[in-house]
Amino acid sequence: MKRYVVFMILGPIFGVLAAYAVLTVATGGYVELYGIPLVFFFTLIVCAITGPIDGVLTYVAPVWLRGPLTGIVGAVVSVGVAVVLGLYMSRELGKSMVLPPMHEMIPIAVFGAFCMGVCSLLSHNYRHPKG
């Protein structure tokens, strides 16, 4: 139960804080907050997909390996969700969308990996050997 609370509450909060910090540095201190709910919703989707995968990894991988593996899964899922949402929005708006180059998706992958790796380490039960 702790895993789902960590992934569904702390994961989106980490995503929003990371996005806010990067936007603050990139814009020199001025950030418009209208995108924060979008970041929260996006991170919530990524957490809902990655959390159960981390739960399965609990039984097959030790914690020192599970954190990085969950981070990799979080990076892949975050890029996949961004591409799918972009394609869906372009179809709904009636425009054809050209996928962005993958080097532009690197920040999304890094944030997804960081947030999901931290959530995996925080959700581990260090008192019990099998999580």
Q: Is 92 inside a domain boundary?
A: no
Residue 75 belongs to what domain range?
2-79+105-123
Let me know if residue 31 belongs to a domain: yes
Domain count, the chain: 1
Does some domain include residue 95? Answer: no
Dist CA 31 CA 47 (whole Å) = 25
Measure the CA–CA gap between 18 and 7, rounded to whole angstroms. 15
Q: What is the pLDDT along the chain (131 residues), one digit of tens a residue?
A: 688 888 899 889 988 988 888 888 888 877 788 888 888 999 999 999 999 999 999 899 988 899 999 999 999 999 999 888 888 877 777 777 777 788 888 988 998 999 999 999 988 877 766 55
Q: What is the pTM of this model?
A: 0.84
User: Roughly what angle, to the nearest 10 degrees, separates helices 36-60 and 63-92?
Assistant: 140
